[in-house]
Amino acid sequence: MADLIVVEGGAEPDIRMLELGQDLPLAGHMGALSMPAIYGLIRDHRTTLVFTNTRFQAEFTFQELWRLNDEVLPIAIHHGSLDVEQRRKVEAAMAAGRLKAVVCTATLDLGIDWGDVDLVVNVGAPKGASRIMQRIGRANHRLDEPSKAYLAPTNRFEILECRAALDAVAVAAQDTPDARSGALDVLAQHVLGRACAGPFELSAFYDEVRQAAPYRDLPYEDFEAAVDFVATGGYALRAYERFAKIARGPDGLWRIRDGRVAQQYRLNVGTIVAGTMLKVRLGRSAGPGKPLVPRRGRVLGEVEEGFCETMSPGDTFVFAGETLRFEAIHEDEALVTRAPPGTDPMIPSYAGSKFPLSTFLAARVRALLADPAEWDRLPMGADQWLRQQSRRSLIPAAGDLLIETFPRQKRHYLVAFPFEGRLAHQTLGMLLTRRLERARLRPLGFVANDYGIAAWCIGDVGARAKADPAFLPDLFGEDMLGDDLEDWFDESAMMKRTFRDCAVIAGLIERRHPGQEKTRRQMTVSTDLVYDVLRRHEPGHLLLRAARQDAATGLLDVKRLGQMLSRIRGRIRHKPLDRVSPLAVSLILEIGRERVFGEAADDILAEAEAMLLEEALA
């Protein structure tokens, strides 16, 4: 083995916030104001990497930079939805030093070190100290020269987050998330794969599986349950012995039943269940005025099916750096044409960052907020914004939770600022609305972002909180993670989605392959229905356990929410207001641009029914 050489010193990174001569908006994530400054930086450097948090943000940034690109600098775009060939072209041009800048997403976070990058710009919130260090590290690989980077916040909350991230980088703090423990659905797929590779002996295979770190502590019962699941479904009702996929032979070894099982395995292998994607194809017409011919023309990349379904023919959107006109969906393809020059694209709604604000950075943001002496370090309107907040409402101490209530447009709002990241806030919102419902305050919906949540009700939630000092502490009580979570969890659409993914990974149902017809409803089975039946008849089944574990960590951040509820016990600061506060404005502005959450399936149906009555009376 080679000797380990520890290198001391090295240049400190040169990283700063991109300061503009004007205030940033209270909400929004696109950073349009920063674009001229970013363009200037690109011009003044050899090669710049511009990181964004989402694909849509990347497309927007790319468009804006080209709008400003009077000097026709070679600026390219790179993200995971683009066609592979196009990505390779960008990478090759970058390596050859032919590009001035590449606008990219997390696809270039790690490992790709081509080109002579001398500047990194990060548009939007950094989300975590380690993430931002990784991105900065893409610039300048010479040890004795500093990596140079700018953080470009897009709204006032992000100014706080960028400041906190800069402070974290200065002390080289790391906040890499803990590795997760092994999932049961993935284990089930591995069991079948192992059997397809050749006969196995149960206890030797168990030892082998535990050599993988995520399965180090796998209990034997769970391992056995996974094998039983693969064999016959693992149901208490032993109905499928005759359909067993794997079985133990007289020699004690487990084998697959026949070659068809192996074939089925190979068609379904993989642990990423992507939403159904449609190819984006630049359509070609057979002649002037003739319809587009499917399967001809260039493929530009892929988009989610759900995205196309929100569009009507003629709508324009930005993809692969071009403004495209949506024409039609044909089987697994979205047919598009180039929009005429000068067309304003209908930019798809910003879905926010997929990475929640890290716990570590959140604590730093709370500390920064709580200390007015630090506000002088916050540029672009953020300091005035916080001073207005302290005059009009209050600034919570670092460990406190600020809850504001106020009326607005015939609704009563409750706004809370836990700073625990989007996932934990969404879960909190779901549980809070259930509790507000029970308190007969008739909640209608809520929005959540990385910093807080806003819920609105028909009932006067502020008056209730004023009249009853125990109301808010009860509402935010830790017991919400007990029965309320259980009740909501099992019924939620999110849980059904997670179950579907687990069912595909574990091999319970087959993947839908490209080109398969969508309407073969007799041949397919809805996993929602399977979920309902399984939950009623075998609530402890391996797949339900797998889905609950997945959802609790990946989608709900239950652990973080639990830590927050315990942290704020006895530390709730309620501020009743007669109108929206400066901090709350930034959340309220998300309504309409973010998805509004809520359960209330019957409420939606009741409103739609009322529309019929109106129609009949009109």
Measured from the CB atom, the residue of 171 and 237 that comes closer to another protein is: 237
Residues 264-283 that bind another protein (CB under 8 A): 264
DSSP 67-78: HT-TT---EEEE
Question: With binding defined as CB under 8 A, does residue 617 bind another protein?
Answer: no
Candidates 532, 567, 573, 585; binder of another protein (CB under 8 A) is 532
Question: With binding defined as CB under 8 A, does residue 328 bind another protein?
Answer: no
DSSP 437: H
Candidates 20, 202, 509, 555; binder of another protein (CB under 8 A) is 509
- Return the H-helix or E-strand segment holding 263: helix 259-268
Amino acid at 272: I
Candidates 508, 547, 558, 572; binder of another protein (CB under 8 A) is 508
Is-contact 262 256, C-beta < 8 A?
A: yes
Question: With binding defined as CB under 8 A, does residue 220 bind another protein?
Answer: no
Question: With binding defined as CB under 8 A, does residue 232 bind another protein?
Answer: yes
Is-contact 543 432, C-beta < 8 A?
A: no
Question: With binding defined as CB under 8 A, does residue 547 bind another protein?
Answer: no
State the residue for tokens 């798809």: 348
Candidates 95, 346, 439, 596; binder of another protein (CB under 8 A) is 596
Candidates 537, 569, 571, 579; binder of another protein (CB under 8 A) is 537
Tokens of 481: 């993670």
- Return the H-helix or E-strand segment holding 403: strand 401-408
Measured from the CB atom, the residue of 95 and 244 that comes closer to another protein is: 244
Calculate ∠ Cα 420-379-592, nearest 5°.
50
Binding piece for another protein, criterion CB under 8 A, among 42-50, 228-236, 368-376, 464-472: 228-236
Size of the site for another protein (CB under 8 A): 47
Measured from the CB atom, the residue of 73 and 530 that comes closer to another protein is: 530
Question: With binding defined as CB under 8 A, does residue 458 bind another protein?
Answer: no
Candidates 245, 411, 500, 575; binder of another protein (CB under 8 A) is 245
Is-contact 175 360, C-beta < 8 A?
A: yes
β-strands 277-282, 14-17: how paired?
unpaired
Question: With binding defined as CB under 8 A, does residue 611 bind another protein?
Answer: yes
Question: With binding defined as CB under 8 A, does residue 222 bind another protein?
Answer: no
Quote the CA–CA distance of 575 and 220 in Å, as a whole number: 53
Question: With binding defined as CB under 8 A, does residue 618 bind another protein?
Answer: no
Measured from the CB atom, the residue of 95 and 596 that comes closer to another protein is: 596
Name the minimum Å distance from CB 439 to another protein: 20
Cα separations (Å) of 504 from 35, 477, 516? 43, 37, 16
Is-contact 26 58, C-beta < 8 A?
A: no
- Return the H-helix or E-strand segment holding 36: helix 35-44
Measured from the CB atom, the residue of 220 and 240 that comes closer to another protein is: 240
Candidates 99, 108, 280, 534; binder of another protein (CB under 8 A) is 534
Residues 92-121 that bind another protein (CB under 8 A): none
Measured from the CB atom, the residue of 66 and 597 that comes closer to another protein is: 597
Question: With binding defined as CB under 8 A, does residue 437 bind another protein?
Answer: no
β-strands 119-123, 48-51: how paired?
parallel
Measured from the CB atom, the residue of 232 and 337 that comes closer to another protein is: 232
Measured from the CB atom, the residue of 90 and 188 that comes closer to another protein is: 188
Question: With binding defined as CB under 8 A, does residue 519 bind another protein?
Answer: yes
Question: With binding defined as CB under 8 A, does residue 303 bind another protein?
Answer: no
Candidates 92, 96, 212, 604; binder of another protein (CB under 8 A) is 604
Name the minimum Å distance from CB 557 to another protein: 22
Question: With binding defined as CB under 8 A, does residue 11 bind another protein?
Answer: no
DSSP 95: H
Inter-axis angle of helices 184-197 and 202-209, nearest 10: 130
Half-sphere exposure of 58 (CA within 13 A, CB side): 27
Q: In what order do the strands lie in the sheet with 14-17?
A: 14-17, 148-152, 119-123, 48-51, 101-104, 75-78
State the residue for tokens 């400054």: 37
CB-based burial label for 287 (10 Å; 0-12, 13-18, 19+): exposed
- Interface residue list for another protein (CB under 8 A): 232-233, 235, 237, 239-240, 243, 245, 260-261, 264, 309, 445, 508-510, 519, 521-522, 524-526, 529-530, 532-534, 536-538, 541, 595-598, 600-602, 604-609, 611-612, 615
